């Protein structure tokens, strides 16, 4: 039994009598006074709960402020799209009687499609101009956008250009003049600040446009709102002739701004059918039934952002409720005698419950208010720190949503105090006055209810996975949207219910595990008994750790899937920080290719290339080709119908090429250049086999069962199609794991193999390793030199050299280890709080152990054993729950043929770290922290 418990103060006894009698404004007022007093007395625990509530609230508030400040209001959206004009028109395609648009989001257009995903009406020629659709008497001004080549400070570059009076008052608001004046003729232009920097020029200098040729005087700076500071030229009509110089493969955009005409909704519908979209000032502000929905099923990014924010807030609140509940449980037990005094003078269980519950409400309100203030400040700082616009958007604070966040904070505080308040209402008054507690009993129905909730969660997740597959594959329209929403929620809610089921049965699980754990020695026996005797503190603790492990597993597994998806869509032309130079000569002149290759290689070396690989490709006589062949190539028609664009999308073969046996291009590279080409060292045994006449493939689909690569010669006839297809030989292959699935060089032959097969090649590509990021000045210099090489080499043959600078996406390993570090800190922090509370409440037990001769080492071992028990149960539970959505996503993507990412490719090693290694680390930390000096004047009997 506990000796010398703290005596309640005289003020506490007066408030207790008032609470029992109902005087002095009623029991709620007295309960509030007692709650406030207890919050002040247990300031350390109160501060912990406030901080725990403050963190997710400040995060949610910061996200709301940042999102609202970066979201355009309706008025700002109208100004950004049409400036001061009444309306604007754009051509998006040919006439189609089924084309429609949202009035407030004109870029969203749709036409009726068949089951194959293609429009049901044949594509027609688009209109040449929108001016003919504008009524007489209205003022019309067009602005055309495209790309032009210019001389920069260090060479040559291709930049954005807009032709039209972007400085006209009609489009003020869409375009913003920053400095200087507007052009007065077609020999003057304005540029963005980034363009000035790229040119190394100032206002008043001359801008040289190479293609199309023009000399323009810079008279000012101007920016296109919400486009960022991108190098752009703004010239008058006729200065560049962008539309006239464009061919079918050249991208241009054109928008017609109208003053003096506001089309009606019926006018917009008619223009949509003609192939145009319409921006109208009044209709965008008042779209009526033609407004875009809050979340459209076609907007995956909005759903992703909404889902991530909602899930993060829900799980953060869940963790806060669990760990704060454990903290308040400790506080409630420390005020056990005070509550017993209140009950002894007549307070009913409702009054006891309200005292503890009001503590949670007070702490929730304080944490909510402080979190909102911190979140607003953080959101404002983040908004200004990440502003990419020349003229940043103003800060806007969504007060209505912030009020909802504060209410949510109070609700979280109430939920935090619910279980401790319920336990306080059931206290044994006589035992509380003596300073003892009733033994804890395991409710017989708890394991059953926990199992039921666990099974419901797992079943809900499985049903959601099946539903999402059906929604993608077989459903259309509103039904697809409803099923998608419900199943997405079920995929998040299912694992959460599974964790709740484990928590409901947590006391029973701890009792069973402690029974086994106690056989390991004295320290595990004491740790297990303490865990079973304090379920109000221990169960929420391992529940919070399980939630953190769940977040770690689902986040890391989701990151692995997303990284694989990003790599499958990335089509590099060279390794990271490399440069690919493409050579082309009319007539396949060997001499022209040789000279262009040598001069380009020298230019790359002068630019700082550390190594250069020469890539030779098979020549042809326009009718006869030699190419590698697969035994079962993926067909492009199947790929398109399955919405897949991974390995099969890169290597898919059209019907005619499939019949001809032309499944890829013949590429020849010397062994010395392979490391530069692939951006990594190649194994010595692979190089040896390659030099002896072999080949390298990056996908096993190219190799036969016996490890050979088949080379096929086919002949093409313009009228008959495939005229001849003959296998010319095969070579041994080595498979290397390199690059993303979309790596363009799937097959590389050795020079010896090409010679033995009689394949003639030309140097058509150079790949250079630049040793680091390529600067804009280096890129410009290489582009200019490539133009000069083409001019020097061109003689009987026309020669061109093009430069492609390859910058790879961020290395996935960095992000994965960042997630690992953040989640590790989160789990350790939550475990530290939970186990720290355990150590605080176990002080009387420590005193008892010390009084009977237990050493500090023994007491440290008890702490470590308890840490291993709690963290182990939590981490393993969280990992198992986290695998539900991760494996579900992989299953869904595989079922809809969107990805070939398999379950075996998941980061199982990381899951093992979280589930098994991390609990051992936590236990080690708890063992290393020495216990405090035991106070042997306050001891607890250990039965």
What the block records as the tokens of 30 is 């007295």
Q: How far apart are CA 27 and CA 347, in angstroms?
A: 9
Write out the H or E segment, with its range, that includes residue 252: none
Per-residue CA distances from 586 to 211, 395, 582 (Å): 21, 57, 14
What the block records as the tokens of 164 is 């039209």
DSSP 172: B
Q: What is the pLDDT of residue 477?
A: 52
Task: Compare 343 and 793 and report the one with higher pLDDT.
Answer: 793
Q: How far apart are CA 12 and CA 76, in angstroms?
A: 59
What the block records as the tokens of 857 is 């080492």
Task: Compare 704 and 143 and report the one with higher pLDDT.
Answer: 143
What the block records as the tokens of 195 is 């363009």
Q: How far apart are CA 310 and CA 303, in angstroms?
A: 10
Question: Which residues have a Cβ under 8 Å from the Cβ of 238 and sit 6 or more positions away?
Answer: 163, 186
Q: What is the pLDDT of residue 475?
A: 59
Q: How far apart are CA 167 and CA 177, in angstroms?
A: 7
Q: Which of 58, 797, 83 is nearest to 375 (CA)?
A: 58
What the block records as the tokens of 407 is 């209410």
User: What is the average per-residue pLDDT within 116-144?
Assistant: 88
3-state secondary structure of 718: coil
Provide the residue count of the chain: 943
Q: How far apart are CA 295 and CA 860, in angstroms?
A: 54
Q: How far apart are CA 98 and CA 320, in angstroms?
A: 51
Q: Is the pLDDT of residue 601 over 60?
A: yes
Q: Is the pLDDT of residue 813 over 60?
A: no
Q: How far apart are CA 367 and CA 359, in angstroms?
A: 12
What is the pLDDT of the chain when averaged over all its residues?
A: 77
Least confident range from 137-141, 443-447, 454-458, 775-779: namely 443-447
Q: Is the pLDDT of residue 298 over 50?
A: no
Q: What is the pLDDT of residue 360?
A: 78
User: How does 580-612 read in b/e, with b if 16+ C-beta sit within 10 Å?
Assistant: bbbbbbeebbeebbebbbebbbebbeebebebb
Q: What is the pLDDT of residue 585?
A: 80
Q: What is the pLDDT of residue 85?
A: 94
- Note the pLDDT tens digit of each residue in 717-760: 555 555 566 777 777 877 776 654 445 677 888 999 888 888 88
Longest distance between any two alpha carbons in the chain, whole Å: 111
Cβ count near 803 (within 10 Å): 27
Least confident range from 13-27, 439-453, 476-490, 560-574: namely 13-27
Q: Which of 636, 726, 740 is nearest to 679 (CA)?
A: 740
Task: Compare 113 and 665 and report the one with higher pLDDT.
Answer: 113
Half-sphere exposure of 922 (CA within 13 A, CB side): 33
Q: How far apart are CA 653 and CA 660, in angstroms?
A: 10
Q: Which of 352, 335, 349, 263 is nearest to 7 (CA)?
A: 335
Q: Are residues 578 and 743 in contact, defined by beta-carbon separation less than 8 angstroms?
A: no
Task: Compare 849 and 173 and report the one with higher pLDDT.
Answer: 173
Least confident range from 55-64, 101-110, 129-138, 316-325: namely 316-325
Percent of the chain predicted with pLDDT > 90: 16
Q: How far apart are CA 176 and CA 881, in angstroms?
A: 52
What are the start-end ranges of the E strands in 121-213?
Answer: 139-151, 156-163, 175-180, 188-191, 206-211
3-state secondary structure of 725: strand
Q: Is the pLDDT of residue 467 over 90?
A: no
Q: What is the pLDDT of residue 175?
A: 93
Task: Compare 368 and 344 and report the one with higher pLDDT.
Answer: 368
- Helix, strand and coil content of the chain, in percent to the nearest 5, comes to 55, 15, 30
Percent of the chain predicted with pLDDT > 70: 72
Omega prior to 212 cis, within 30 of 0: yes
Q: Strands 139-151, 667-668: parallel, antiparallel or unpaired by DSSP? A: unpaired
Q: What is the pLDDT of residue 943?
A: 41
* Residue with tokens 């336990």, as numbered in its chain: 423
Write out the H or E segment, with its range, that includes residue 930: none
Cβ count near 400 (within 10 Å): 8
- H-assigned helices in 426-444: 429-434
What values do phi and psi take at 936, rounded to 5?
-80, 0
3-state secondary structure of 81: helix
What is the sign, positive or negative, of the torsion defined by CA atoms of 180, 182, 188, 193?
positive
Q: Is the pLDDT of residue 816 over 60?
A: no
Bridge partner residues of 113 (DSSP)? 119
Q: Are residues 223 and 124 in contact, defined by beta-carbon separation less than 8 angstroms?
A: no
The pTM is what? Answer: 0.64
- Note the pLDDT tens digit of each residue in 192-250: 999 999 999 999 999 999 888 899 999 999 998 877 778 999 999 989 888 887 766 66
User: What is the average per-residue pLDDT within 920-925?
Assistant: 84
Q: What is the pLDDT of residue 799?
A: 81
User: How does 903-912 read in b/e, with b if 16+ C-beta sit within 10 Å?
Assistant: eeebbeebbe
What the block records as the tokens of 423 is 């336990």
User: What is the average per-residue pLDDT within 764-792?
Assistant: 87
Dihedral angle over CA of 684, 690, 694, 699, nearest 10: 70
Write out the H or E segment, with its range, that includes residue 217: strand 214-224
- Note the pLDDT tens digit of each residue in 353-378: 787 788 878 888 888 889 889 889 98
Q: Are residues 279 and 109 in contact, defined by beta-carbon separation less than 8 angstroms?
A: no
């Amino acid at each position: 039994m506990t000796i010398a418990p703290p005596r309640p103060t005289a003020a506490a006894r007066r408030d207790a009598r008032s609470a029992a009698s109902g005087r002095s404004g009623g029991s709620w007022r007295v309960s509030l006074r007692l709650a406030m007093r207890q919050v002040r007395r247990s300031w350390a625990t109160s501060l912990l709960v406030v901080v725990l509530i403050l963190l997710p609230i400040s995060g949610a508030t910061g996200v709301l402020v940042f999102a609202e400040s970066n979201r355009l209001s309706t008025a700002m959206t109208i100004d950004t799209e049409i400036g001061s004009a009444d309306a604007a028109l754009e051509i998006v395609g040919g006439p189609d009687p089924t084309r429609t648009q949202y009035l407030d989001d004109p870029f969203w257009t749709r036409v009726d499609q068949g089951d194959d995903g293609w429009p049901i009406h044949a594509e027609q020629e688009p209109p040449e101009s929108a001016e003919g659709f504008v009524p007489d008497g209205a003022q019309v001004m067009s602005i055309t956008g495209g790309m032009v080549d210019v001389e920069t400070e260090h060479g040559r570059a291709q930049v954005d250009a807009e032709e039209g009076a972007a400085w006209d008052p009609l489009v003020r608001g869409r375009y913003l003049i920053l400095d200087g004046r507007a052009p007065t003729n077609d020999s003057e232009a304005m540029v963005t600040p980034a363009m000035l920097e790229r040119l190394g020029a100032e206002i008043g200098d001359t801008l040289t446009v190479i293609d199309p040729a023009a000399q323009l005087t810079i008279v000012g700076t101007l920016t296109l709102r919400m486009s960022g500071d991108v190098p752009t030229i703004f010239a008058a009509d006729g200065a560049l002739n962008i539309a006239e110089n464009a061919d079918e493969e050249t991208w241009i955009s054109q928008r017609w701004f109208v003053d003096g005409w506001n089309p009606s909704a019926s006018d917009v519908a008619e223009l949509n059918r003609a192939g145009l979209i319409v921006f109208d000032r009044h209709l965008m502000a008042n779209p009526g039934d033609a407004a875009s929905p809050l979340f459209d099923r076609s907007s995956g990014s909005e759903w992703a952002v909404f889902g991530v924010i909602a899930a993060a807030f829900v799980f953060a609140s869940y963790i806060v409720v669990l760990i704060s509940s454990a903290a308040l449980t400790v506080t409630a037990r420390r005020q056990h005698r005070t509550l017993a005094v209140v009950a002894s003078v007549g307070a009913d269980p409702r009054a006891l419950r309200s005292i503890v519950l009001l503590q949670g409400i007070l702490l929730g309100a304080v944490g909510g208010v402080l979190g909102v203030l911190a979140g607003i400040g953080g959101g404002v700082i983040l908004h200004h720190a990440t502003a990419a616009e020349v003229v940043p958007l103003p800060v806007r604070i969504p007060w209505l949503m912030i009020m909802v966040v504060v209410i949510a904070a109070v609700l979280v505080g109430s939920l935090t105090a619910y279980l401790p308040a319920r336990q306080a209402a059931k206290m044994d008054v006589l035992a509380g006055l003596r300073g003892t507690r009733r033994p804890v009993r395991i409710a017989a129905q708890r394991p059953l209810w926990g199992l039921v909730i666990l099974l419901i969660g797992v079943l809900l997740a499985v049903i959601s996975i099946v539903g999402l597959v059906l929604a993608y594959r077989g459903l259309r329209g509103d039904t697809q949207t409803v099923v998608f929403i419900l199943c997405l929620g079920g995929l998040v809610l299912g694992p959460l219910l599974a964790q709740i089921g484990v928590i409901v049965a947590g006391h029973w699980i701890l009792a069973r595990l402690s029974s086994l754990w106690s056989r390991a020695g004295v320290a595990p026996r004491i740790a297990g008994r303490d865990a079973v005797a304090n379920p109000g503190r221990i169960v929420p603790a391992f529940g919070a750790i399980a939630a953190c492990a769940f977040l770690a597993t689902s986040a890391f597994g989701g990151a692995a899937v997303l990284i694989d998806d990003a790599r499958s869509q990335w089509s590099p032309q060279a390794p990271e920080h490399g440069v690919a130079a493409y050579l082309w000569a009319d007539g396949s002149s060997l001499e022209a290719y040789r000279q262009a290759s040598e001069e380009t290689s020298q230019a790359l070396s002068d630019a700082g290339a550390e190594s250069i690989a020469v890539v030779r490709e098979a020549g042809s006589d326009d009718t006869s080709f030699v190419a590698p062949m697969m035994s079962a190539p993926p067909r492009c028609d199947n790929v398109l119908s399955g919405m897949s664009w991974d390995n099969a999308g890169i290597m898919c073969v059209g019907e005619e090429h499939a019949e001809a046996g032309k499944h890829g291009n013949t590429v020849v590279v010397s062994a010395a250049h392979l490391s530069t080409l692939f951006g990594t060292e190649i194994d010595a045994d692979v190089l040896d086999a390659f030099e002896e006449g072999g080949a390298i493939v990056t996908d096993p689909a190219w190799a036969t069962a016996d490890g050979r690569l088949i080379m096929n010669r086919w002949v093409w006839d313009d009228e008959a199609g495939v005229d001849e297809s003959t296998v010319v030989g095969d070579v041994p292959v080595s498979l290397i794991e390199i690059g993303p699935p979309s790596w363009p060089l799937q097959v590389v032959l050795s020079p010896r193999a090409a010679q033995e097969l009689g394949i003639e090649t030309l140097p058509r590509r150079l790949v250079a390793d630049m040793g680091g990021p390529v600067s804009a000045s280096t890129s410009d210099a290489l582009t200019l030199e490539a133009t000069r090489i083409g001019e020097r080499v061109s003689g009987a043959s026309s020669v061109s050299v093009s430069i492609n600078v390859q910058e790879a996406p961020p290395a996935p390993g960095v992000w994965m280890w960042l997630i690992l570090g953040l989640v590790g800190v989160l789990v350790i922090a939550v475990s530290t709080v939970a186990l720290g509370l355990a150590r605080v409440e176990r002080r009387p037990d420590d005193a008892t152990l010390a009084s009977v001769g237990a050493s500090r080492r023994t007491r440290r071992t008890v702490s470590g054993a308890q840490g291993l028990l709690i963290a182990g149960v939590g981490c393993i539970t969280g990992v198992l729950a986290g695998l539900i959505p991760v494996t579900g996503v992989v299953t869904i993507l595989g079922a809809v043929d969107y990805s070939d990412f398999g379950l075996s490719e998941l980061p199982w090693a990381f899951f093992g770290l979280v589930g098994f290694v991390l609990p051992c680390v936590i236990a080690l930390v708890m063992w290393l922290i020495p216990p405090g000096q035991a106070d042997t004047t306050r001891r607890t009997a250990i039965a």
